[in-house]
Amino acid sequence: MPVSQKRQLNRSAELQRRAENLLPGGVDSPVRAFRAVGGSPPFAVRGEGAYLWDADGNRYLDYFGSWGPMILGHAFPPVVEAIQHAAANSASFGASTPSEGDLAELVIDAYPSIEKLRFVSSGTEATMSAIRLARASTKRDYIIKFEGCYHGHSDGLLVKAGSGVATFGIPGSAGVPDEIAHFTLALPFNDIFAVEAAFAEHRGQIACVILEPIVGNMGCVPPVDSYLQALRDITQREQALLIFDEVMTGFRVAYGGAQELYGVQPDMTTLGKIIGGGLPCGAFGARSEIMDMLAPLGPVYQAGTLSGNPLAMAAGIATVSHLKEHRNEVYARLEALSAAVADGVAAEAARIGLSLTTNRVGAMFTWFFAANSVIDFESAVTSDTATFARFHQAMLDQGIWLPPSQYEAAFMSTAHTMDDVAHTISAAKDALQGLAEKTR
Ligand SMILES: *Cc1c(COP(=O)(O)O)cnc(C)c1O
């Protein structure tokens, strides 16, 4: 779309006004309301490959991919067919289906640290249940998480969380009793001394350390060298469990997730997003000895009416089996596309003289409007969010939809092309030029 042709959002604005009377903020998940970037959020009506269309007929190149699941692009034909086929046989049974075993086999084969897993309907449920299991299996109450990591919206995990919690600058959430928050020790990411100090202070009381092994929810923040291995060593020594929340990174940064990429095996893993192929799905897994503590075998209760839903399983199997079959091409392609766009835009910013820090691991990246390197939450929040908001708006006006917050990672899919990348870099050049002129 030429820059001169101003995007019309009449229908979306109308839909937003209606939604605001029906849903708080007009949304079912806060960041969708565009409060951090301003402007009326486009209402999505269709997606195909790397593109989205809104209710006014505007087309966008999609860089958030439903926040991660759409790694093969929108309406990928094998996924659509799998969902249609499953739906024709009934959307739900509330009884066991063969497809749960099929997806479980695929996941367990890809993640050697997992011997058994349980499916749930969201990433939130996966991490919440993993924490309960970790506490039961260690008979300890405290948990360690990291500032800026987001593990869904269960009470104890919202303390100093990332994603929307970081976007709106709230320290946690109202409605979480202090008595619950008390058991969550929130430490700076990438700081192994803070972890040592917490274990020294609470010796024998810490059930687990949970983290996003590559953080996506304060923007993309990779682990520093040997950080994950150090966490592995400390948790082993202290007999606490190490939980990798790979809801975002699983099947994204590598087929076997961050644990394959960095060669560090956690005790427990949580998954979501990609394993549901765009349908509601999550999972948590570990070695059998831990997982067999779940009901009906053990004393830890966990259940779900729609857990292992046949449509979600079908979409997950179609997605994961495609990734498995084309593993080498898929991850090489995602790496090449993502490197090209992340570095291309960074180079334009450098040429113009704007401070931009680019963090990237595979098809997961963030352009921070920050002068310093971003290694934790403290450095992430030095970003100039007002400038990010203007950049976001300028990109959207050129038909490129980035995640609507400085503190969310961007994603690419196998449906993106090098032409899309070239178009993005040229749009970013214009957008950044505009910002530079304004700030001068
Ligand atoms: C998205 C996400 C979650 C929460 O998953 P939902 O399906 O939104 O509940 C948890 N952890 C991480 C790392 C995530 O990126």
Q: Which of 325, 350, 373 is the last residue of a domain?
A: 325
pLDDT at 173: 85
* One domain for residues 120 and 269: yes
Domain extent at residue 177: 77-325
Sequence-distant (6+) residues with CB within 8 A of 344 are 421, 424, 425, 428
pLDDT at 160: 85
Model pTM score = 0.97
- Domain assignment present for residue 164? The answer is yes
Q: Which of 292, 325, 358 is the last residue of a domain?
A: 325
Any idea what the CATH number is for the domain that residue 42 is in? 3.90.1150.10
Show the CA angle centred on residue 180, arms to residues 176 and 185, nearest 5°: 110
* One domain for residues 299 and 343: no
- Domain assignment present for residue 5? The answer is no
Any idea what the CATH number is for the domain that residue 284 is in? 3.40.640.10
* One domain for residues 158 and 236: yes
- Domain assignment present for residue 68? The answer is no
Question: Which residue lies with its CA nearest to atom 15 of ligand 1?
Answer: 248
* One domain for residues 23 and 97: no
Q: Is 60 a catalytic residue?
A: no
Sequence-distant (6+) residues with CB within 8 A of 310 are 86, 89, 90, 91, 92, 93, 97, 99
- Domain assignment present for residue 1? The answer is no
- Domain assignment present for residue 4? The answer is no
Nearest to 348 by CA among 430, 409, 437, 412: 430
- Domain assignment present for residue 72? The answer is no
* One domain for residues 195 and 95: yes
* One domain for residues 237 and 371: no
Provide the residue-wise pLDDT of the chain in tens; the chain has 440 residues. Answer: 444 457 899 999 999 999 999 999 999 999 999 999 999 999 999 999 999 999 999 999 999 999 999 999 999 999 999 999 999 999 999 999 999 999 999 999 999 999 999 999 999 999 999 999 999 999 999 999 999 999 999 999 998 888 777 777 666 788 888 888 999 999 999 999 999 999 999 999 999 999 999 999 999 999 999 999 999 999 999 999 999 999 999 999 999 999 999 999 999 999 999 999 999 999 999 999 999 999 999 999 999 999 999 999 999 999 999 999 999 999 999 999 999 999 999 999 999 999 999 999 999 999 999 999 999 999 999 999 999 999 999 999 999 999 999 999 999 999 999 999 999 999 999 999 999 887 65
* One domain for residues 243 and 320: yes
* One domain for residues 302 and 336: no
Helices (H), 353-402: 377-380, 385-397
The residue annotated as part of the active site, out of 54, 62, 245, 384, is: 245
* One domain for residues 294 and 277: yes
pLDDT at 165: 76
Residue 1 CA, ligand 1 centroid: distance in Å: 33
Q: Which of 268, 296, 325 is the last residue of a domain?
A: 325
Q: Is 273 a catalytic residue?
A: yes
Residue 125 CA, ligand 1 centroid: distance in Å: 9
* One domain for residues 111 and 165: yes
* One domain for residues 260 and 342: no
247 lines ligand 1 (CB under 6 A): yes
- Domain assignment present for residue 417? The answer is yes
Q: Where are the beta strands (DSSP E) in 134-175?
A: 142-146
DSSP 389-423: HHHHHHHHHTTEE--SSTTS-EE--TT--HHHHHH
The residue annotated as part of the active site, out of 63, 111, 142, 150, is: 150
152 lines ligand 1 (CB under 6 A): yes
The residue annotated as part of the active site, out of 273, 331, 384, 407, is: 273
Q: Is 111 a catalytic residue?
A: no
- Domain assignment present for residue 69? The answer is no
* One domain for residues 210 and 303: yes
The domain total for the chain is 2
pLDDT at 418: 98
Mutate to test the pocket of ligand 1, among 64, 127, 247 (most ligand atoms within 8 A of CB): 247
Residue 287 CA, ligand 1 centroid: distance in Å: 22
